[in-house]
Every structure is written in C-alpha cells, then in structure tokens.
Structure 1
C-alpha cells in the first residue's frame, strides 16, 4: 500500500503541509466557535418559565 502523505505531496506539487494545515486550523477554529455558541446559547433565558 503506498504512503498517503507522499502521494498527497506529489499530487499537490508543493512541499510540506502548508495549505492542508491552514485549512485544518481554520475549520477547527470555526468548529470551536460554533460549539461554544451551541453550548452557551441555553444559558441566556433560563428563568422565563416562572
């Protein structure tokens, strides 16, 4: 089975994980922001059911 990393580097024509790492970082930051919004949105109006 061929090495996946070597195939990706050869196919992209670039050396190193520059664009891939940039995309992974951006997606993780956006994902963390959405997760924080989802978890914290329930804390806004808890005592309106009195």
Structure 2
C-alpha cells in the first residue's frame, strides 16, 4: 500500500487545500458557499410557494 504521508506532506498539496494565505481571510471559498446558499434558499422558497397561487 502506498505511503499517503509522502503525498500529503508535499507543499503543493497543502497549497491546493489552503483556503487563504496570510491574513486575507477565507475569501473566495466562503463567498461561493454564501452565494450558493442564498440562491438555493431563494429557489427553495420559490418552489415551495408557487403551489399557493390561485389555480384558474
């Protein structure tokens, strides 16, 4: 079985997984999660509320 520590200890691997570098904060990942969450909530609300309209 291959040694997983040899791969995870590589600096490029930790750079890929890093959310932020320095004191910049979480940045793009957190922004993406928040935008997708807000759009998802709006879509869910539209989907659930569309059935309450008058049916002619």
Tell me if both proteins adopt one fold, taking TM over 0.5 as the criterion.
yes
Structure 1 spans left out of the alignment, 5+ residues: none
Structure 2 spans left out of the alignment, 5+ residues: 9-13
CA distance in 1, matches of 2:17, 2:29: 10
RMSD in angstroms over aligned alpha carbons?
2.7
Q: Stretches of 4+ moved more than 2 A in 1?
A: none
Indicate the structure with greater helix content: 1
